Amino acid sequence: MTFPENLKYTKDHEWIKVEGDTGIVGITDYAVGELGDVVFVELPAKGKQVKQGESFGTIEAVKAVSDLFAPLAGEVTETNADLEKSPELVNKDPYGKGWMIKLKLKDKNELNNLMDVKAYRATIGK
């Protein structure tokens, strides 16, 4: 399992990579392992406002259907259209081609509510 150092993590196993005022969001390698093969991802419409910790979509896998939670508040500026045709990208490359949404961030101070890689590893026992 890999957990990139440059990301912030939630207790619900989402990650966010902040680039300027944009946050790129996905789920962790750990979450992918728990879910199994991803068969469908439901993502929000462009322009949707999300709050930190609020559900922004769902992910359906062989084992379960789970909500996806926003690591930070913001406006959805882009969704990963490739996941509509190829949801397995989440399994193959959760930190790259399997990203889910991009957010125009509302308040970067909310990053203080998230975990760094060391804290996230401790949370999942890895």
Instruction: Tell me the percentage of the chain whose pLDDT exceeds 90.
Output: 95
Q: How confident is the model at residue 126 (pLDDT cuts 50, 70, 90)?
A: confident
Could you tell me the fold of the domain covering 10-124? OB fold (Dihydrolipoamide Acetyltransferase, E2P) (2.40.50)
With a pLDDT cut of 70, the percent of the chain lying above it is 100
**pLDDT tens, position by position, 56-114:** 999 999 888 999 999 999 999 999 999 999 999 999 999 999 999 999 999 999 999 99
Residue 123 makes CB contacts below 8 A (sequence gap 6+) with 9, 11, 115
Per the listing, tokens 């709050």 go with: 51
For 95, the token pair is 């930190």
**What order do you get walking across the sheet with 101-105 strand by strand?**
8-9, 14-19, 22-27, 101-105, 74-79, 49-50
Q: What pTM did the predictor assign? A: 0.96
What pLDDT is stored for residue 70 in this prediction? 98
Tokens coding 22: 């944009």
Domain locations along the chain: 10-124
Task: Read off the pLDDT of each residue in 19-25 and give the average, rounded to a whole number.
Answer: 97
* 3 state SS of 71: coil
4 residue type, one letter: P
At 58, which helix (H) or strand (E)? strand 55-61
Q: What mean pLDDT is predicted for residues 15-28?
A: 97
